[in-house]
Each structure stands twice: as C-alpha cells, then as structure tokens.
Chains A and B, each alone.
Chain A
Amino acid sequence: MTGVISGSGQWAYVAAAYGLTMLLTGAVLWSSWRAMVNAERRSDALRKDRK
C-alpha cells in the first residue's frame, strides 16, 4: 500500500515523544513539590518562632 509508514525506526520517534513528556512532566512535578515543601516549612518555622 502506498503512503504507509513502516520500519523499525518508527519506535525511535515514539520513544522520543514519550521520554520527553515523562521527563519534563516529572521535572515540573518534582520542582513544584520541592518548592511547596520548602515554602511551607519556612512558613511553619516562622510561625513557631513567633509563639
């Protein structure tokens, strides 16, 4: 059939798309989590100091 995409090289494109998505989503999740935990720790420490 003409116009059909075939060959084992297709998996490299699939792997690149999934790898990039997981890597960047994971990085933003991790940085958001770390920033939230650190900010809430600072806020709690300051509140305890005031008591």
Chain B
Amino acid sequence: MHAYANPTRFLAIARPLTPWLLGVGLLLVLAGAWAGLTQVPGDYKQGETARILYVHVPAAWLGMGGWTSLALAGLIQLVWRHPLSGIAARAIAVPGMLFTALCLATGSIWGKPTWGTWWEWDGRMTSMLVLLFLYAGFIALTNGDASGGGGQRQGGSLSRGAAIYALVGAINIPIINRSVVWWNSLHQGPSITLRGSSIDNALLWPLGLTLLGFSLLFGAIVVMRMRRIIADNRVGARLRRLADDEGN
C-alpha cells in the first residue's frame, strides 16, 4: 500500500483504469436497468413500483460505503500521513453525497405509492438524512483554498480536524444499518443479509448488475476527481515556483 501512496505511481494505474471503469460500469448499469424494467415480473404486492429497488439499493449501498471509505482514508491520513489518502477522501465526498441524495429521493418516490407518504421521520430515513448532512459538512470543511485554509492542507491532503470529522461521522453507518432492526417503522427490515436474501431469485438477479455497475461508476468518479485534484496541485506548485523564481 505504501508503494502506491504516491501520486505518480497512482496516475500510472489510474489513467488506463478510468475508461474501463466508465465503460464497464455504464454497460452493467444499462443492462441492469433494462433487465429490471423489462425482464423481471412485478412484485405480487407492490406491483411495478418494486422495480425502483434496482436503483434505490445501489444508491444506499454507495452512500454508506462511500462514507466508510472516506473514514478509512481519514484514518490512514491521520496515522501514516499518506498524501493520496486525503485526496481520496476529498474525491469520495461528492459521489458519496450524490448517491445518498439519490437513495433518499428514490426511497421517497417508492414510499408514496407503497406507504401513502413521501417521508416519515423513522430511524432509517432520518439517519440517512444525517449522512447527507455529514457529506455536506465534509465538503464545506475541505473546500478551503489550496494554501491550507479550512479543512484542507497544501498538496490536497486533509487537515487533522477534517480527518477526525470523517472518523466521528462513521458512527452513523452502523446506526443506518441496524435502524430497521432497532426501531419498527414503515421501512421494511433487511432483505439481504450475510445469511441470504428474502427476495426471490426471479427478482434479485438484475440487482447484481446495477450494484456492480453503479459501484464501478462510483470508482470512476472518484478516480477522475483524484486526477483533477493532483493536476490542480501540480499547477499550484509550478505557479508558486515561477513566482519564487521571478521574486529572486
């Protein structure tokens, strides 16, 4: 891991990887959406609205997985001070927030015909909304200028405060995961666990395609945003060197 915590080595892998992540991710998402909309039957109780599952579940998975990765990157930044870990945390924040917002929006759209309401202040939805606010706070904290303001340090890495914020925010992830078990509410209990799935295989298989596809697209967004931050850092460093040369 230490060997690859270097922007130049990272770029040597990231450049050829980006089009593959984008291409395969798009193909899988389109195939999963096509299968989910046309190749599986409607649910016997929820009818056609159950097809929202194929976009809602990947969004939830990536919203939570995104913050878990962001907290891990924050921990690596705090312990080993790898320059890439702070860059990775900043790159994860926007797609993480996107998929959290999509999870809330698609869940709300699913809730209206199923529960008769767009929103319910229950454990699952409220803790997911808290995650959205955590992402917004992290983005605001790390959007300081490259001179080291706010939650960002020179070189694009995180300040200690931003890394601790990422770690503290991770407390919300098990709360989201267990919320449907701890509090009985409109939201259904866990359908997919380590022991198996309560969803019939006839309805389940397109979910594998969209889960993998959206995960690859998430990876593509993170890699592209990391490449952008590294390029901006290099421009900033060169401009500072030029200014120093002219000053001397």
A41 to chain B, nearest CB (A): 8
Which of B22, B221, B239 neighbours the largest number of chain A CB atoms within 10 Å of its CB?
B221
Kindly list chain A residues whose C-beta atoms are within 8 Å of the C-beta of B112. 13
Instruction: Scan A1-28; emit 1 where CB is below 8 A from any B CB, else 0.
Output: 1011111011101101110111011001
Task: Please give me the residue from chain B that is nearest to A9 by CB atom.
Answer: B113
A42 to B114 CA separation, bound complex (whole angstroms): 50
B235 near A39: Cβ-Cβ < 8 Å: yes
**Contact count A vs B, C-beta below 8 Å:** 103
Interface of A, secondary structure class, is helix
B55 near A18: Cβ-Cβ < 8 Å: yes
A36 near B224: Cβ-Cβ < 8 Å: yes
B231 to chain A, nearest CB (A): 4
Which of B59, B114, B220 is the one whose CB lies under 8 Å from A29? B220
A: number of interface residues (CB 8 Å):
32
Instruction: Scan B210-227; emit 1 where CB is below 8 A from any A CB, else 0.
Output: 000010010011001101
A29 to chain B, nearest CB (A): 6
A5 near B232: Cβ-Cβ < 8 Å: no
A13 near B113: Cβ-Cβ < 8 Å: yes
A35 near B238: Cβ-Cβ < 8 Å: no
9 closest cross-chain pairs (CB), A and B: A39-B231, A10-B48, A43-B231, A32-B224, A21-B55, A36-B228, A17-B106, A36-B224, A5-B47
Partner-A contacts on B (CB < 8 A): 22, 29, 33, 37, 44-49, 51-52, 55-56, 59, 94-95, 98, 101-102, 105-106, 109-110, 112-114, 214, 217, 220-221, 224-225, 227-228, 231-232, 234-235, 238-239
